[in-house]
Structures are given as structure tokens and as C-alpha cells.
Structure 1
Amino acid sequence: MSDAHTSGVPTSGVPTSGVPTSGVPTSGVPTSGVPTSGANTPGGPRGVPVSSLAPLASLVSLVSLVALAAVPAAPAAAASAAAASAMPPPVRPEDRAGDHLTVVVAHAGSGRDGTYELFCHPGGGSHPDVSGACRVLDENTHWGKDTFAPVPPDSVCTMIYGGPATAHVTGTWAGRPVGARYDRSNGCEIGRWDRLTPFLPGMDSPV
């Protein structure tokens, strides 16, 4: 009885051997035409030759170097411009064409007192020593400095009295207006006067 029921299970009749697995066309799949060599090679996306990316990489490197080299140039140019604007402008030839001074000397003694006009570049005027006066003024003219600047208030000066002589200078020098006064009341003022001799009269001999 048991033999009849177990033997009747249709296990042996399952058509496993008849499944057509051997007929699956695996060898005919066209795998040789798939571009797999470019998929896992470093340097580029699938299908792009690595050698074609080399010019692009060189161009990117060159642009980066140029950009880095240009970065410090802007602050340097700005600093140079700021330093240049802080200094007074240089003396131009057209400025020198208008050099004209009037000096009024008083209490210096006979032959020294008077009002004199001086022109420089070219020289001329009623000054008794035009060439010498223009020369000493040129020697004392420096970029960024006032040729006729007063003695600084904090200067330590010797108490030497050089006499009652005074001078008042007005006009235009190196394109800038001039209005300066001179005396010989102490060592500093005497030195300031003597630096501009013979534009100002020398006090050791008549003009």
C-alpha cells in the first residue's frame, strides 16, 4: 500500500533533462565591440582617449600660473600709486619758465638795502647778481622741500645777533607761490640767510 503511494508521486516525470539550456546562444554575443578599455583607465570618461586630454590639462595649468603671477601685482601697483601721490610733484621745465622773485632788503646798510627783481630760466631783472642769485636758488631747490622754509620752531639756536637786517621775498619759484621773511636774530636765522647769499646780500661786504 505504502509502495503504491510513494511510487505514484510524479517526481521522475519532471522534464528537467529536456530544458533547452544548451541551445542558448552565448557564444554569439558581440562582446568584442564594447569599448571597455576606456572605462577603467585613469584620465578621462568612457570612450575619450587619454591622449586627447593632455593639451587641455596644459592650458589649464598655464592659465593658473598666469593668474597666480598677477595676484601680487595689484597691491604693489596700489602701494606705488599711494607713495607717488604722497610726494609733491617734480619741478617741470614749464614751471621754471615762470621763476620771478622780488626781494625787499632793509636795515642791511648802504649799498644793500633796496627792492630787487629777479628772473631765472632765463635770468634777468634788477638784482645786482642775477647769475649768482639764480645759481644759489637752484642749489637749494630740492623735490619735496620748501626752498624758503622757515627755521623749525623746535630748533636749538645759538644766541648770536647778526644785526638788524631783514628781507622779504615774494613771487613764484618752481611753480609755487613764495612769501618768506628773513632776519639775523640768532644763529639759525643767520645760517638760513647765508645759505641764500648772493640772492640775499652778504653781510661781510657791500652788494
Structure 2
Amino acid sequence: MLRRLALTAVASLAALSAAAPAATAATGPLPLPLPLPLPVLQDDAHTHLTFTVSGSEKSAAEGAFELECGPAGGSHPAAQEACGRLDELTGKGTDPFAPVPKDAVCTMQFGGPATARVTGTWQGRNIDTTFSQNNGCEISRWNNLRPVLPEVG
């Protein structure tokens, strides 16, 4: 089916290409096509995230807080710095919310019982992920996102 569709498209393009110069010669230049309206794009720079941290050794890091970026705000204790860190990681082409790859080799160290669940929107994309400190890769993933995620140990 796909092959037939492709062959039909190629044949149609060839027929139109051959007919266009003849039509132009007989009637003059063709009118310019009308511009198509552009769709309204979502504000990809807007960020609204909710963090729920539990199991931290530091009571100030415990609980739920929100982060808004573009402009910075919410109940996040370091909103401006957190938005700056997210912008920095975005500029490097890094997805700070990507999970640790399944084939990653991680040190077997335990950083503590702290966990953080992150939900919301970042760069126009829905986020729903969890951070922990169960091994070296997870600890590194958490630390890479500071001050977006709090220091917990």
C-alpha cells in the first residue's frame, strides 16, 4: 500500500512538473500561493513543576513545593536559581528528568532514604518522575538537578 502511494505521488509530481512550464508559457506566470495561517504555538519556555520530597535528613527539604519559571516563582525556596539551573541544562541539550538508562553501571552505594516525586510541565512536556538516592547513578542524577531538588543529606 505504501509503495503504491509513493508511486502515485511520484507520477503526479512528474505530470504536474511537465504541465506547469507549458501552462506558464501560454497564460503567463502562475499566481503566488496564499500563505497558510501559522498555528498558535504553546509557550515551551513555561515551567510549572510540583516537587514532593520525603525521607530527607533535613526538615527544610521535606514537603511539597511548586516551581514556576518564566517568570520564576512559586513556593520553591530558591526559585530563581532553580529556573536558572533548568535553563542551563536545557541549553546543554540535557533532559534533567530522564531516568537512569537501564543498562547503566552504577556504584552500589546508598545515599539515604530521601525520594522526590516531580510532576507538572517543563518545556511544554509533561513530567512525572521520581528521584531517589538508592545508588551512585541516582545520587548523581539528584545532585545534577540541584538547586531544583534540595540537598537532603
Does TM-score exceed 0.5, indicating one fold? yes
- Rg larger for: 1
What is the Cα-based RMSD across aligned positions, in Å? 1.9
Instruction: Map Cα deviations across residues 55-114 of structure 1 (whole Å, 9 max, x no partner).
Output: xxxxxxxxxxxxxxxxxxxxxxxxxxxxxxxxxxxxx88221x31000000001311111
Residue 108 of structure 1 corresponds to 56
Q: Does 1:180 align with 2:129?
A: yes
1:99, 1:203 → 2: CA distance?
A: 23
1:144, 1:133 → 2: CA distance?
A: 17
Residue 51 of structure 1 corresponds to none
Q: How far off its partner does 1:146 sit?
A: 3.1
Aligned residues: 112
Q: How far off its partner does 1:203 sit?
A: 3.0
Q: How far off its partner does 1:142 sit?
A: 5.0
Residue 141 of structure 1 corresponds to 90
Instruction: Map Cα deviations across residues 93-141 of structure 1 (whole Å, 9 max, x no partner).
Output: 8221x31000000001311111000000101100000011111111122
Specify the code of the residue in structure 2 equivalent to 1:187.
G
Q: Structure 2 regions of 5+ residues with no counterpart?
A: 1-40
2:104, 2:44 → 1: CA distance?
A: 32
Q: How far off its partner does 1:144 sit?
A: 6.4
2:131, 2:121 → 1: CA distance?
A: 17
TM-score by length of 2: 0.68
Specify the code of the residue in structure 2 equivalent to 1:156.
V
2:146, 2:136 → 1: CA distance?
A: 16
Q: Does 1:150 align with 2:96?
A: no
User: What secondary structure, in the 3-state scheme, does the structure 1 residue paired with 2:142 have?
Assistant: helix
1:200, 1:114 → 2: CA distance?
A: 12
- Report the identity percentage: 52
Instruction: Map Cα deviations across residues 157-183 of structure 1 (whole Å, 9 max, x no partner).
Output: 011110000000000000110011000
Specify the code of the residue in structure 1 equivalent to 2:109.
I
2:85, 2:92 → 1: CA distance?
A: 16
Q: Does 1:169 align with 2:128?
A: no
User: What secondary structure, in the 3-state scheme, does the structure 1 residue paired with 2:76 have?
Assistant: coil
Change (3 A) 1:146 1:103: same
2:61, 2:92 → 1: CA distance?
A: 31
2:131, 2:83 → 1: CA distance?
A: 18
Q: Which structure has more strand as a fraction of its residues?
A: 2
Q: 2:141 aligns with which of 144, 169, 192?
A: 192
